[in-house]
Amino acid sequence: MIPEGKVREVAERISIVDVIGEYLPLRRSGSNFVGLCPFHGEKTPSFNVNPAREIFHCFGCGAGGDVFSFLMKIEGLTFPEAVRRLAGKAGVYIEERALTPKEQRAESLKTEQQKIMALATRHYRELLVGSNEGAAVRSYLQNRCITPEISETYGLGAAFGRRDALVKQLGKNNCSLEVAAELGLVRRGDYGWYDLLHNRLIFPIRDNKGNTIAFAGRVLDDGLPKYLNTPESPLYHKSSVLFGLDLALLDIRRERAAIVVEGYFDHLALYKAGVRNVLATCGTALTEGHIRLLRKHAEQLYLLFDSDKAGRVATVRAMELCLEHNLPAYVISLPGDDPDSFMQQNSAEDFAAQLKLARPAFEQFMHWLLAKTSPDSVDRKVRLMDEIIPRFKRISDPVERNLYEKEICRLLEVDLPAFRKRVAAEAKGATRNRDFAAQGDRQQTVNPLKNKTAPNDPIQETLLGILLHYPESRTEMQVVGLEKLFNSDYLPLAGKIAALDTADSTPASLKLSDITTDWQKELAARLLVTDEHLTDINWRVALQQCVQRIKQNATRELKQLSVKLADLVQDSPEYHELLIKADELRNRKSTLQ
C-alpha cells in the first residue's frame, strides 16, 4: 500500500490542469478551465477543472474527482498505478512494499503471460525476417507495398507449416504450455501440443501500451478461414480492443477524431500514407465496449468499412451505437472496394479530400435506403419509415432530432404530423415484440420436438425462425457472429440457413435433404410450416430481445455455477469442468454487447 503522505506529495507537485490538458483542450473560464468531456459525447463544454481545489467535474455526465480519478478513468488504471504514473512525472520516489502471497501469485502469472506473448511475438518476427521460409511472406508483403519499416513498426511475423515450432520455442524458454494454452497460442491434441497458427502472416494485436495481447494470422493463398485470431483470454477481450490503438492514441487525442476500418491491411495502408489516427476492428463488429473506449479519446468517429452489403450492415450497426452514446459519426465513401485498394492507386491528399466529403452516418443511412427503395408509393413510404424510425429514435440531441425529422419528411414527402404519428405508433407497436423470445416459449409447448434427446431452447429456435423467415437478417447476424448467437447444437443449422441466398425471400429454399441430423430436420420442418408468430414482426427488435435473453440466461447460469463452485473441492475434476463452463459463459456474454 502506498503511504498517504506520498499520495499527498504527488498531488501537491502535479497540476491537474497540465495532466488533463494532455488529453483534451482546455480554456480558462473565470476561475475554472472548461472543455469537452472525454467521458461522454457533447458539443457544448460541460467539463470543468478547478485548479485551486485540484478537482474536475462534468455537469453533463456527472464524472468527477481528483487527478488520480481522472487518470484511472481515462486510462483504465488502478489507484496505485495512477499514483505511480504521476509520481514519475512529479519526481516523487515511492518505495515498493512486499506483496501478499495472493498478489505474488497474480503478479507471477501476469509476468508469465507477458513473457509468453513477448516470446511468441519475437518468434514469429524472427521467422519472417531471418529465415529462408520467410522469403515467401516477405515477397507477399512487398507485393502489397508493405515496406520493411512498416513491417517493423507493426511487428509483423510469420508462422510456417511446422505445427509445433512455437511449442518447442516455449519449451526451450521454460514457459508453461498450460498458460500458453490459456492465451490461445497452443493447444493439446491426441498426439501432444501443437501451435494454433501456422502457414500464415502474423499480426500482433497490442494494447494501448504496445504490449502484445493476441495475434491474427492471415493465409497467403485462397485458403479458409482467411483470418484466424487467437481466442479471448485473460489478456485479450475482443469487444474492448481495437487494432492499432498503441500507434494511433496520440494522434486521436490531437485530432479529437478516430477513423475505424475493418481490415488489418486497410490500417497498414492508411498508416503508411501518414493517416495515423486510424484503428481497425479485430474481426468483429463495433461493440458498445469499443464505443466507450473511443469516447474517452475522440469527439467524433469516421466509419470506413467495405462498400459491400456486409460493410453497410456493419456501418449501420456502428451508427446505431454512436447515436445511443451521442458520439458524432460520419461515413467515408471511397471509390473502390476498400481503403487498401484505394491507397494503392491514390495519395494521402486524395484520401484527405474524401475525408472532407464524409457524410453524417444517419444521413448516409437514409441515402442508402432511398437509393435502394424510391418513396414513390404509399407502401414504400411506410416501409421506409419502418426502417428509419427505429434509428431516428436513437438520436438524443433534440436539435439534431428536430432537423432530421424535417429532412425525413421532405425526402419521403410526408407531412410532419403524419410522421410523428407513425413514430408514436411504432413505440406502441413495440409492445407487440416485447419479450418475443417468450412467444418462442409458447410456440415450443404447442409444437414439441418428437426427439426427446434433442436440445430444447426456445431462444435458439426463435433466432433460427428469424434467420429463416427474414433473409435480410442473415447478413446482420453474420456480422454479429453466428457462433455468438447460437450454441454448438444449433450452430450447424444456423450456418446452413445463413448460407441461403438473401435475395430469396422464400423459406422453402432451405432443403431438408441438406440436413443430416434427424432432430434438426424435424426442427427445420416445423419452422417452415409454423410461422404464424413470425408474421409482420419487427425482426430487429425481436433479435435484440433474444440477445438480451441470452445475456440474462448467461448471468443466471453464472450465479448458479458460482453457488455450485463454492461447494466443490477446488482440485476436483467437476470443479475445473464448471470453471471452464463459467469462463465460456462470461466470454459469450461479453461479446454480445
Q: Is 203 in contact with 154 (CB distance < 8 Å)?
A: yes
Give me the domains of the chain, ranges plus CATH numbers.
Answer: 4-90 (3.90.580.10), 101-236 (3.90.980.10), 239-365 (3.40.1360.10), 373-433 (no CATH), 436-591 (no CATH)
Query: What strand order describes the sheet that includes 64-65?
Result: 27-29, 32-35, 47-50, 55-58, 64-65
The tens-digit pLDDT sequence of the chain (593 residues) is 687 888 888 988 888 999 999 888 898 888 789 998 888 777 788 899 988 778 888 888 878 888 998 998 888 788 888 999 999 888 888 877 677 888 788 889 999 999 999 999 999 999 999 999 999 999 999 999 999 999 999 999 999 878 999 999 999 999 999 999 999 999 999 989 999 999 999 999 999 889 999 999 999 988 888 999 999 998 998 888 999 999 998 899 888 899 999 999 999 999 999 999 999 998 788 988 898 888 878 889 999 998 888 889 999 999 999 998 888 999 999 987 789 999 999 999 999 999 999 999 999 999 999 999 999 999 999 899 999 999 999 887 788 889 999 999 999 999 999 899 988 887 665 544 444 444 444 444 333 333 334 566 888 888 888 888 788 888 888 888 888 888 878 888 888 888 876 655 445 455 554 566 666 766 666 666 555 566 678 888 888 888 888 888 888 888 888 877 777 767 777 777 788 777 777 776 666 65
State residue 147's pLDDT score.
95
Residues belonging to the chain: 593
Backbone angles phi, psi at 64, to 5 degrees: -170, 170
First to last CA, the chain: 35
Within 20-103, strands assigned E span: 27-29, 32-35, 47-50, 55-58, 64-65
Q: Is 589 in contact with 555 (CB distance < 8 Å)?
A: yes
Residue 134: Cβ within 10 Å count: 19
Minimal CA–CA distance to 469: which of 363, 543, 571? 543
Question: Where would I find the H helices in 147-211?
Answer: 148-154, 165-172, 177-182
DSSP code per residue over 103-134: HHHHHHHHHHHHHHHHHHHHHHHHHHHHSSTH
Max intra-chain CA distance, the chain: 76
Cβ-proximal residues to 114 (8 Å cutoff; 6+ apart), any chain: 211
Query: Helix axis angle, 245-255 relative to 288-297, nearest 10°?
Result: 50
Residues facing residue 201 across a β-bridge: 158, 218
State residue 173's pLDDT score.
96
Q: What are 295's three cell numbers? A: 469516447
Q: What are 18's three cell numbers? A: 497540465
Q: Given the C-alpha cell 515496406, which residue does it identify? A: 147
Cβ-proximal residues to 566 (8 Å cutoff; 6+ apart), any chain: none
Burial of 424 from C-beta contacts in 10 A (0-12 / 13-18 / 19+): exposed
Helix (H, G, I), strand (E, B) or coil at 64: strand
Q: What are 261's three cell numbers? A: 476500418
Residue 222: Cβ within 10 Å count: 6
Q: Tell me the CA distances in angstroms from 512 to 86, 447, 509, 515, 517, one per residue in order.
A: 65, 18, 9, 5, 10
Q: Which amino acid is at 432?
A: R
Half-sphere exposure of 114 (CA within 13 A, CB side): 10
State residue 367's pLDDT score.
94
Q: How far apart are alpha carbons 178 and 61 in whole angstroms?
A: 43
Helix (H, G, I), strand (E, B) or coil at 450: coil
- Which pTM value belongs to this model? 0.63
State residue 292's pLDDT score.
80
Q: Is 424 in contact with 535 (CB distance < 8 Å)?
A: no
State residue 435's pLDDT score.
47
Q: How far apart are alpha carbons 267 and 278 in whole angstroms?
A: 7
Q: How far apart are alpha carbons 450 and 553 in whole angstroms?
A: 25
Q: How much is the CA Rg of the chain, to the nearest whole Å?
A: 26
Calculated CA dihedral for residues 191, 195, 198, 202, nearest 10 degrees: 180
State residue 516's pLDDT score.
60
Say how far residue 239 (Cα) sits from the centre of its chain: 4
